Amino acid sequence: MLQKVIREEKELFRRLEAVRSLGKIGPAAVPALSELLQSETAQIRVEAAGALARLGPAAKDAIPALTKAFRDREATAAAGGALANIGADAVPTIAGFLKDKDYTVRARGAMILKRMGRPSLCFRSWNAFSRTIRASSG
């Protein structure tokens, strides 16, 4: 029922409320919330990422979808927050952002690792990336 409202309702406010309600269902809603990260509506993507963030580690199955959403300019902060709240299961994915060609993705990944209390991992990954870049350019 909630997914029908999210897809068919014309008023954005009601659609956002349906996404919030879906998030309150708990871990069983992770697949549906992950799918909503691909919505054409930015506010829906952000709200879905926020709902996944509130689920914390229970949302670990959403890591692949959140990884894609992290590259979405409108949803990057919410997706990053969700990955941080998932915790240890998301660390390898977040550390992988530090190897991205896009500086903003690397910087956001570093900020998330710092927020998670893992600055040493950030430093090691960043140094490894820098060595790779230097080796390939010289």
The CATH number given to whatever domain includes residue 30 is: 1.25.10
pLDDT > 80? residue 36: yes
- Determine contact, residues 69/37, Cβ cutoff 8 Å: yes
Q: What is the pLDDT of residues 81-100, one digit of tens each?
A: 999 999 999 999 998 998 88
Rounded Cα distance between 52 and 21, Å, is: 12
* 117, part of any domain: no
- Determine contact, residues 37/79, Cβ cutoff 8 Å: yes
On the 0-12 / 13-18 / 19+ scale of CB atoms within 10 A, 59 is: buried
Q: What is the pLDDT of residues 5-17, one digit of tens each?
A: 888 888 999 999 9
* 118, part of any domain: no
* 85, part of any domain: no
- Our count of domains for the chain comes to 1
Residues whose CB is less than 8 angstroms from the CB of residue 83 and which lie 6 or more positions away in sequence, other chains included: 63, 66, 67, 70, 90, 93, 94, 112
Range of the domain at 56: 1-61
Q: Token pair of 54, please?
A: 């509130």
pLDDT at 57: 97
